Amino acid sequence: MVIVSHVNYRTGLRLNLAELSGALRQRGILFVVDAGHSLGVLPVDAALCDAVVSCSHKFMMGPHGVGILYLAREGQPPESAARGWYSMDSVDNFAIRNGEPSFTFKNGASAYEIGNPAFLLLLALIESMKVQESAGRGAIAEQALGLASALRSELKARRIECWTPVLPARHGTSIAIPEPAGSELYSALSARGILVAKGVGRLRISFHGYNDNSDLDAVMQCVAALP
């Protein structure tokens, strides 16, 4: 099994899922993708993967406390998997045999839901997904990736170090700027009320579909003011 992040949380590097999937399937290797930094803003072709996992916040714009799991194949989880009454195919099938609980799992990802789902959180996530669907996932990706690419190109033109690849096909919608420029830019952005993430030795600026050129211009002005 090979497990990868579609977009790296630290550098913004984006992997080519199609190439990886083709190489792994030729060898009979399972392919699991963490899409926590791409799902909701960039297309994730689940058909290329044996499993996809993601958080429900970040680019999905949902709440904390629930997660997303996609399994390409139906079947029962391994014996070591967590079990609960909600993961059973039927409560009526539950029995004690030789002193051990015995029951049949549901097929597919539902077998991993071991207790009552967090219904309120799921309803909030569904509403976020409806917003994304109404905006058009293709339009969201084009908008956000265009803004990220423009910022990455500006950083390259100004010879400001950046961990994120230049080619749009190789990065997500988050741009990573290492120290010390990252700290200097963070201070300037914070002074203008622009929310970004700072840590693990870098500043991360992320764009979503709701961002526009005015947001990019505000960041560019702070970049231009760097010493």
Q: Note whether 11 and 70 are same-domain residues.
A: yes
pLDDT band at 75 (very low <50, low <70, confident <90, very high): low
Residue among 40, 58, 57, 46 at smallest CA distance from 133:
40
Give the model's pLDDT for residue 76: 59
Which comes out higher in pLDDT, residue 213 or 113?
213
Expressed as residue numbers, the domain containing 72 is: 2-135
Give the model's pLDDT for residue 145: 97
Q: Note whether 119 and 148 are same-domain residues.
A: no
Do 121 and 78 touch, CB atoms closer than 8 A?
Answer: no
Q: Note whether 120 and 148 are same-domain residues.
A: no
Give the model's pLDDT for residue 41: 98
pLDDT, averaged across the chain: 91
Distance of CA 106 to the CA centre of its chain: 26
162-207 pLDDT, tens digit per residue, is 999 999 999 999 999 999 999 999 999 999 999 999 999 999 999 9
Q: How many domains does the chain have?
A: 2
Q: Note whether 91 and 113 are same-domain residues.
A: yes
Residue 184 belongs to a domain with what CATH number?
A: 3.90.1150.10
Give the model's pLDDT for residue 197: 95
Give the model's pLDDT for residue 191: 95
Do 53 and 35 touch, CB atoms closer than 8 A?
Answer: yes
Q: Note whether 107 and 156 are same-domain residues.
A: no
What radius of gyration, in Å, describes the C-alpha atoms of the chain?
21
Strand 67-71, strand 51-55: pairing: antiparallel
Q: What's the mean pLDDT in 8-14?
A: 97
Q: Note whether 162 and 205 are same-domain residues.
A: yes
Q: Note whether 38 and 81 are same-domain residues.
A: yes
